[in-house]
Amino acid sequence: MRLLFAFVLFHFCIASTAQSNLTVSGIVLDSTTFQALPFVAVQVKGKPIGISTTENGTFTVSCTQGDTLVFTRLGYKPVLLKITKANDRLRIMLAEDTRLLKDVTVYGDYEIKGIDDWKKDLPPNTQIQLKKQTLEPPPNEVAVFGPGITIGLGGKDKTKNKRDELSRTETYRKTISDPETKKQLISLYNLTEEQYNKKLERFNEENPDVFYLTSAQEIITMMIQFFALKD
């Protein structure tokens, strides 16, 4: 009798486990244009499980029955979806978050106030002569490629490795230094400036390969997934 009970209990546990572990897949679209959205962060809420949508906007993620999936992309409102059963035809629609966008006024001709105030301190009738600075490099040198980088003619290029490294990490450096990206991440996760900087520092330490990615959106997606995790 005990053996029969143990056998039934064993199979019941297997069936329960199989029923609770699910795989869901689908596609994420822009709610207005119906265009597929690549690099959308798909996170299992409260768990260190996350992926990003492909270039075609599709995704496949393993989760547990009752989990909540969070779909996040900068510039769009997050979507939360509670999973109750396996599904391979999910269609997630993300709407643009207009609250993150502000009006920008462009002026054709704009004179900065106070730019000539320094002239008031000069003696009357002082003649001002503008100094012209040549843009040509010094003899036997060519123009610099960036701060502290100059190539001498006929000599060995000692800064090539530095320039190659700067070139390979240019997308990453521009992405993390973009003030709008920083602003939206702080707003998305309700962070202080100090908390943001600490998370970014940890992100850099734990994801060294991200420095060489060439897609800004892919970098941002990885940041979203990392920032979603609790400390």
Q: Dump pLDDT digits (tens) for 61-105.
A: 999 999 999 999 998 999 999 999 999 899 999 998 866 545 445
Contacts of 94 (CB under 8 A, 6+ apart): 28, 29, 30, 31, 37, 40, 71, 73, 76, 77, 79
The pLDDT tens digits of the residues spanning 170-212 come to: 898 889 889 999 999 999 889 998 899 889 889 988 888 888 8
Q: In the prediction, which pLDDT does 28 show?
A: 95
- The answer to whether position 140 is within a domain reads no
Which pLDDT band holds residue 131 (cuts at 50, 70, 90)? low
**Rounded to the nearest 10 degrees, how much is the dihedral formed by the CA atoms of 35, 38, 97, 100?**
-130
- The answer to whether position 122 is within a domain reads no
Residue 33: left if φ>0, alpha if ψ -120 to 50, beta else—which one? alpha
CB 224 within 8 A of CB 72: yes
β-partners of residue 25 are 60
Residues 93 and 165 in one domain: no
The pLDDT of residue 146 is above 80: no
The rounded distance, in Å, linking the Cα atoms of 226 and 188 is: 13
Q: E strands along 17-123, which residues?
A: 21-30, 41-44, 50-52, 58-64, 68-72, 79-82, 87-94
Domain region containing 178: 153-231
- The answer to whether position 136 is within a domain reads no
- Residue-level length of the chain: 231
- The answer to whether position 40 is within a domain reads yes
Residue owning tokens 């109750």 = 84
Q: In the prediction, which pLDDT does 109 show?
A: 52
Q: In the prediction, which pLDDT does 137 show?
A: 53
- The answer to whether position 106 is within a domain reads no
Residues 218 and 157 in one domain: yes
The rounded distance, in Å, linking the Cα atoms of 231 and 81 is: 24
The pLDDT of residue 147 is above 50: no
Residue predicted with more confidence, 110 or 55? 55
Contacts of 167 (CB under 8 A, 6+ apart): none
Residue predicted with more confidence, 121 or 59? 59
The pLDDT tens digits of the residues spanning 152-172 come to: 444 555 556 666 667 788 898
pTM for the model stands at: 0.59
Collapsing DSSP to helix, strand or coil, 126 comes out as: coil
Which of 100, 124, 143 is the endpoint of a domain?
100
The pLDDT of residue 150 is above 90: no
Q: In the prediction, which pLDDT does 117 show?
A: 64
- The answer to whether position 147 is within a domain reads no
Residue predicted with more confidence, 142 or 30? 30
Which of 82, 100, 118 is the endpoint of a domain?
100
Collapsing DSSP to helix, strand or coil, 81 comes out as: strand
**Domain holding 79: CATH number?**
2.60.40.1120
- The answer to whether position 125 is within a domain reads no
Count of structural domains within the chain: 2
Which of 59, 75, 100 is the endpoint of a domain?
100
- The answer to whether position 110 is within a domain reads no
Q: In the prediction, which pLDDT does 119 show?
A: 65
